[in-house]
Chain A
């Protein structure tokens, strides 16, 4: 028995060596490409700006489980039902064709968007992130808010060292308890309902429990002193 296992292991050795060789060779090829670049240490630059030399690329060296909302990945990154295709999210001028646009204020239409912490507490104006006229759709190729460069062009103006992952913080938070949020931002939805039910459950149990304790002790005392 043991001899057979030994033989099998002996046969495995060259296979493993070959595998390691392939892996090392491919790594070396990537390394050679790096060195050939005119831009030194381009990996860091690429990761932070979304550019490889003059070409635009997706941020590289993504960490597993760190996904970026708005950036679709995979073999077929399109979906026929994806809402963002149908809404104005890929226009150079997102407000194109809106009547009397020049005389309107942002908050006249974007009501909820002016009530988040960045607007209310940090006192940011819309244009400080979305840019001047014409305001591009956030998924337009040249928009500063396009998820491929949002972190470098917008977030890092204040948050030094912001990464693509950091830029996936949802500035305009959806209503956490709404049904739409269950599909748009499920973690927030479930965290909200869990905490709300925990809060209500604790108080709904312990407030009557305390009141009844107080009442029963009061009545018990009276009976004793009588």
Chain B
């Protein structure tokens, strides 16, 4: 029976583990990377000292980078298994897919009109266009950072198959993409997840794995409708998270938020001392 207290499943355990993995590795990479990027400032030296100085923070950065790259490969294999290869078109471009479609652009237009009260809110499906952007921003950023990172890690080997000046370009791309990723996550992603009224104080879906049905109906009406039509809504019912688990993930989420905002604010304050290349 569907009551207002019913919760429906949004993220599986594997999705949540991937997200947790990304939080831990991304924050480590940002802290070690910013420590080196801002090393000429007092703040950068302090961050670097947390990881044992300029050289050992690079060592941490390299190892965590390799772990991140392995995670990316595992995730890609996982994605390939998620696709229903008997019906590739329906599976890749269907409502449960993260691949952007024409409908997302329509939703964007409708949503901009809705911002100013000029029209009804779009009936967003399982994944909104901004969630898709979030996902693909990470998905293209990670290989770019991994490839340029490996090039900088093995410069002699890189100069065997490419001209040495490619390292200048690799360093620029690695830095600029890292700054872009940190700025996007610590401003846009954190705002959407914590600060906007429907999420405040924290959007719990990525930790609890489920959302209350009324919230899903308001936020993702297309998704609820689709599940009702397919008769899957009853099957998606989920238990609420236990109080202890909620306390733990609130503490964890706020710790991650605090670290991110701290790095963002100091990064902006000291931005005059760094260059994009």
Contacts and interface: CB of A to CB of B under 8 A. Distances in A.
Interface of A: 63, 65-69, 120-121, 159-163, 165-170, 173, 176, 185, 187-188, 191-192, 195-196, 198-199, 202-203, 206-207, 209-218, 221
Given A173-B168, A188-B165, A207-B188, 17 more contacts: A65-B162, A65-B163, A160-B156, A165-B159, A169-B155, A188-B168, A191-B176, A196-B176, A203-B183, A203-B184, A209-B188, A210-B187, A211-B191, A212-B115, A214-B191, A214-B195, A214-B197
Give the top 6 A-B pairs by smallest Cβ distance, nearest first. A195-B176, A166-B159, A168-B164, A217-B197, A212-B115, A169-B164
> How big is the B interface, by class?
35 or more
Contacts of A168: 159, 163-165
Contacts of A210: 187-188, 191-192, 196
Interface of B: 39-40, 54, 112, 114-115, 130, 133, 137, 155-156, 159-169, 172-173, 176-177, 179-180, 183-184, 187-188, 191-192, 195-198, 276-277
* Residue of A69, A159, A168 with most chain B CB atoms under a 10 A cut-off: A168
B69 to A, nearest CB: 21
A170 B188 contact: no
Contacts of B197: 214, 217-218, 221
Contact of A173 (B133, B162, B163, B277): B277
A163 B187 contact: no
A91 B197 CA distance: 69
B156 A166 contact: yes
Contact of A217 (B162, B173, B184, B198): B198
A69 B276 CA distance: 23
A168 B160 CA distance: 12
B165 A170 contact: yes
Given A163-B156, A195-B177, A195-B180, A169 B165 contact: yes
Secondary structure call for the B interface = helix
A166 B156 CA distance: 6
A66 B180 CA distance: 30
Contacts of B198: 217
B177 to A, nearest CB: 7
23 contacts: A63-B161, A67-B163, A159-B155, A163-B164, A165-B162, A167-B164, A169-B159, A169-B167, A173-B277, A185-B168, A192-B277, A196-B176, A199-B179, A206-B184, A206-B187, A207-B188, A209-B130, A213-B115, A213-B192, A213-B196, A214-B191, A214-B195, A218-B197
Contacts of A206: 130, 133, 184, 187-188
Contacts of A121: 39, 54
A192 B171 CA distance: 11
A217 B191 CA distance: 13
B182 to A, nearest CB: 11
A66 B197 CA distance: 55
Contacts of B184: 202-203, 206
B152 to A, nearest CB: 11
B187 A207 contact: yes
Contacts of B169: 187-188, 191
B130 A185 contact: no
B162 to A, nearest CB: 7
Contacts of A211: 191
A222 B172 CA distance: 47
Nearest to A221: B197
Contacts of B156: 159-163, 166
A168 B159 CA distance: 9
A121 B112 CA distance: 47
Contacts of B162: 65-66, 165
A203 B172 contact: no
A214 B161 contact: no
Contacts of B188: 203, 206-207, 209-210
A159 B158 CA distance: 13
